[in-house]
Amino acid sequence: MKKIIVISFCLLFFLNLWSSEVKRVSVTKVKLERSFPQQHVYFKSIPVVDTDKAGFIYAVDNREHTLFKFDSEGKLLAKIGGWGQGPGELQWPAKISVDKSTGQIFVKDNIGIVMYDPQGSFLRRIRTFTGILNFEASLGKIMVLEPIPGKQDLIGVYDYQGTRINSIGQKYELDYSLSKEIGPGFLDRMVNDGAVLFDGNYIYYVSYVFAEIRIYDSSGLLISEKKLSGPGNLEKYREEYRKIFFEKGVKKNSDGTITNWRIFNDACLNGDYLYLLMLGYITGSTYEVLVIDKKSLEIEERMILPDDIYPEMVRVIPTDGKNSILFAISFQGKINGDIMIGIFKKEGLK
């Protein structure tokens, strides 16, 4: 009898502890302060965006083949690039990263990565990359998420000349025979889809498909990893996607398309926190930004975005602290279909 009482007490203790941990996750709403572009500038596609340490916003329009620079008020400061393969020109640009320490700008298009100085002048084109899913340029290194069939590497590390320095991490292992309708290269890109982030000491890999985070040191040693839990049906979708990729196999839809299974749509790193843009259907409601402590990998806050937008990317605009933080988010309006960049902040903040 005493043993049963002790076990019951322990269960209640851990349940209460778990409950208190759940309660620590605050839920706040985020509101739109202003949106742009104005000045007769129109995006043809939802842009990929990044910010620099001064708060300037850089946006790449895939269909305009152009890099735009705005201040935090939305004023257009520069248009860079344009269609072509010449110095500084772009072809279907799809990713962007701004080195916060130097202000140098890196844009990935269908040829490689184009590098500009902080004023937008062309520096060089790096053509050595293949199969880039995502990348981050910081402190003289380019971290490239590049799963390649036949290789186990997940992240390639390059210098700013395009010389490969190191390989980090291991991609998800697939039985390609389960997904006979899909090529191995495309499967690798689907299952390893995510973000690679770098703070100068550690490299963070965020899986968009399985809501997992891994931390590596600069030598490639795995320091920590975590499967995120809560909010909504996150665990349910993770297990469903694992079954699709590792047990059932990926199949084409009846119209020949392939479903892009994801839990997250974007991720960025600022200070002590990771910011993950979670898709709305995970909670059956609106999109959210999860604020993750980069050391513990615990969810500290859920920020609810307005329900009248389809957000694509989120980036932090540097401010004095987490409580006064501003976000630059590229989105499409649900009602009018306008493609914009918005400046958002928490409700109730001055």
Domain-embedded: residue 202: yes
What is the rounded radius of gyration, in angstroms, for the C-alpha atoms of the chain?
21
CA–CA gap between residue 337 and residue 340 (Å, rounded): 9
- Whether pTM > 0.85 for this model: the answer is yes
Phi first, then psi, for residue 215 (nearest 5°) are -120, 130
Pairing of the two strands 299-304 and 26-36 = parallel
pLDDT tens digits along 29-66: 999 999 998 767 789 999 999 999 999 999 999 999 99
- Round to whole Å and give the CA distance between 205 and 214: 5
Question: Does a structural domain hold residue 160?
Answer: yes
Report yes or no on 292 lying in a domain. Answer: yes
Residue 4 lies in a domain: no
- Report yes or no on 1 lying in a domain: no
Its domain, for residue 170, covers 25-346
| 279/84 Cα distance (integer angstroms) | 34
In a domain, 10, yes or no: no
How does pLDDT run along the chain (350 residues), one tens digit per residue? 444 544 444 444 444 444 434 447 899 999 999 999 876 778 999 999 999 999 999 999 999 999 999 998 999 999 999 999 899 999 999 999 999 999 999 999 998 999 999 999 999 999 877 779 999 999 999 999 999 888 899 999 999 999 999 999 999 999 999 999 999 999 999 999 999 999 999 999 999 999 999 999 989 999 999 999 988 999 999 999 999 999 999 999 999 899 989 999 999 999 999 999 999 999 998 999 999 999 999 999 999 999 999 999 999 997 765 556 899 999 999 999 999 999 999 876 54
Q: How many domains does the chain have?
A: 1
Residue 20 lies in a domain: no
CATH at 39: 2.120.10.30
Residue 204 in domain: yes
